[in-house]
Structure 1
Amino acid sequence: MQSGFSTKRVIIGPEGFKKVVDVSSPNKIGLPNGQIDSMELADIKPGGSFEVKGTVYHVLTCDTFDYVMHYLKRRTQIVYPKEGAYIMMRLDISPGKRVGEAGTGSGAFTVCLSRAVGPEGRVYTYEQREEFYKLAEKNIKGFSEFDNVIMHNKSIAEGIEERDLDAFFLDVREPWEVIGEVRKAIKPAGHLGIIVPTTNQVTQTMESLENKGFYIAEVVEIMMRKYKLVPERLRPEDLMVGHTGYLIFARKLGE
């Protein structure tokens, strides 16, 4: 049986057309000028192409970026790739690591963590709202390459079950309320990453980290500006995402 990871395809076409689809079940896939049968699409090798009414489309494998940004169903704000990659570097995420996360939300960053820690690693993720938990569970299974995610439908304010985690990532409304629980869960010198949308949340979180015995390594905001893909008229796109979140990174001190 193919995994959700292996059944996703990206279709690209003229004028910036892009569509991520699942070819695991029979269905008709709509295109700007027609459609293609999913079984027919599944037989096209990645890098190959097909034609519909004179228009050529190309087929690619689906990478993590395209799944998260163009396919994953979301009912919550997600950790965007521009933050996600930096977070994983700052938390020293690598194959075999054991990482905690709260809240799961729609599961976008959980998918990234799962691939990063690999088959020998583990991701323990907490989401207290049942509707988000069920959505995240579906999204994670839809792109899982490894069976390494353990999900909890509870708030970490009620306690974190795991101990001696290498790192923990917090994406919750009031992170300062649960810093003590996170401290119990991560190993000495373990990494902690937190994302919040407002500066007053940064202030409260920093105060809690200092009081709970953490070394604050960095507070940072990451900006990204895209360019129009026209070589002869290269310039920035007219619109950009001005703000997504502030990142706070810390290390656990002492025992």
Structure 2
Amino acid sequence: MQSGFSTKRVIIGPDGFKKVVDIASPNKVGLPNGQIDSTELAEIKPGNSFEIKDTVYYVLNCDTYDYVMHYLKRKTQVVYPKEGAYILMRLDVFPGKRVGEAGTGSGAFTLCLSRAVGPQGQVYTYEQREDFYKLAEKNLKNFLEFDNVIMYNKSIEEGIQERDLDAFFLDVREPWEVIQIVREALKPAGHLGIIVPTTNQVSQTLISLEKNSFYISEVVEIMMRKYKLVPERLRPKDLMVGHTGYLIFARKLGE
């Protein structure tokens, strides 16, 4: 699966305005005080500006963060950047790795895995629900840089085709039910990451990990507090990003 991720652009303007658009789609791009044609927008090099009614806007390349947070269509809660970057580190994901994932959901974290393993790596992602699968497929085609993702429209309860994976990430309702199946797909000492929204799910998952000979390295919750971008009155924003999920990390023991 491969696509032209380079057709996405970010438009930024006064008062925190931000909009992600696809310059490959012929249309009028709506702005707070007017419009610009997407073909005209395509002629503006990233980093440069344009003006509409005395208002200056800048054009930037779209990065993974802006695509996931401001463009990607979703029917599920996604793995947010504050968790995503930490998961990649804890699973030791880097170029050339072979990584599995279930479920795909809307495909947000699949994109992160694809970028992390690079063109020499491979991502295998499983999604049981057909509507989620089709949405994720569209989201991935809109932004994938590398042809390194294989998608399955099936539950991993039916089995994981791959073996000797370097790492696996689980984002399913009852992860404790599939720990043994994931274990069979991992190489010795392979990394496993799991995200769940409630503490009782954490408890059930820990019990299953112990029964299936995993070393449990960590259970963690990540919170994030942003600051208002006013140098003269620098202080935290009134609202912060609190709980979005509990992360569990483990490694396979034995053969």
Aligned residue for 1:104, secondary structure, equals coil
Q: Output the amino acid matched with 1:32.
A: P
The equivalent residue for 1:151 is: 151
Query: Is 2:222–2:242's contact at 8 Å kept on the other side of the alignment?
Result: no
- 5+ long unaligned stretches in structure 2: none
The equivalent residue for 2:202 is: 202
- 5+ long unaligned stretches in structure 1: none
Deviation at 1:4, TM superposition (A): 3.0
| Distance in 1 between residues matched to 2:204 and 2:12, nearest whole Å | 45
Deviation at 1:238, TM superposition (A): 0.6
Aligned residue for 2:216, secondary structure, equals strand
Aligned residue for 1:93, secondary structure, equals coil
The equivalent residue for 2:26 is: 26
| Distance in 2 between residues matched to 1:83 and 1:51, nearest whole Å | 37
Instruction: Kindly provide the CA deviation profile for residues 22-57 of structure 1, in whole angstroms up to 9, marking residues without a partner as x.
Output: 001211000000000001101100100000111000
Relative distance call for 1:98 and 1:153 in structure 2 (3 A) is: same
| Distance in 2 between residues matched to 1:36 and 1:3, nearest whole Å | 25
Aligned residue for 2:66, secondary structure, equals helix
The equivalent residue for 1:125 is: 125
The equivalent residue for 1:70 is: 70
| Distance in 2 between residues matched to 1:180 and 1:51, nearest whole Å | 58
What pairs with 1:212-231 in structure 2 (closer than 5 Å)? 212-231=212-231
The equivalent residue for 2:135 is: 135
Correspondence 1:44 to 2:44: yes
Deviation at 1:97, TM superposition (A): 0.3
Deviation at 1:170, TM superposition (A): 0.1
Aligned residue for 1:89, secondary structure, equals helix
Aligned residue for 2:26, secondary structure, equals coil
| Distance in 2 between residues matched to 1:110 and 1:91, nearest whole Å | 14
What is the total number of aligned residue pairs between the two structures? 254
The equivalent residue for 1:171 is: 171
| Distance in 2 between residues matched to 1:242 and 1:93, nearest whole Å | 25
% identical aligned pairs: 85
| Distance in 2 between residues matched to 1:156 and 1:30, nearest whole Å | 43
Q: Output the amino acid matched with 2:37.
A: D
Q: Output the amino acid matched with 1:121.
A: G
Q: Output the amino acid matched with 1:156.
A: I
The equivalent residue for 2:92 is: 92
Aligned residue for 1:223, secondary structure, equals coil
Q: Output the amino acid matched with 1:89.
A: M
Q: Output the amino acid matched with 1:184.
A: E
Instruction: Kindly provide the CA deviation profile for residues 187-243 of structure 1, in whole angstroms up to 9, marking residues without a partner as x.
Output: 000000000000000000000000001000000001110001111111111111221
Aligned residue for 2:36, secondary structure, equals strand
The equivalent residue for 1:61 is: 61
| Distance in 2 between residues matched to 1:242 and 1:97, nearest whole Å | 31
CA RMSD of aligned residues (A): 0.8
Q: Output the amino acid matched with 2:160.
A: I
When the two structures are superposed, what TM-score results if normalisation uses the length of structure 2? 0.99
Deviation at 1:82, TM superposition (A): 0.4
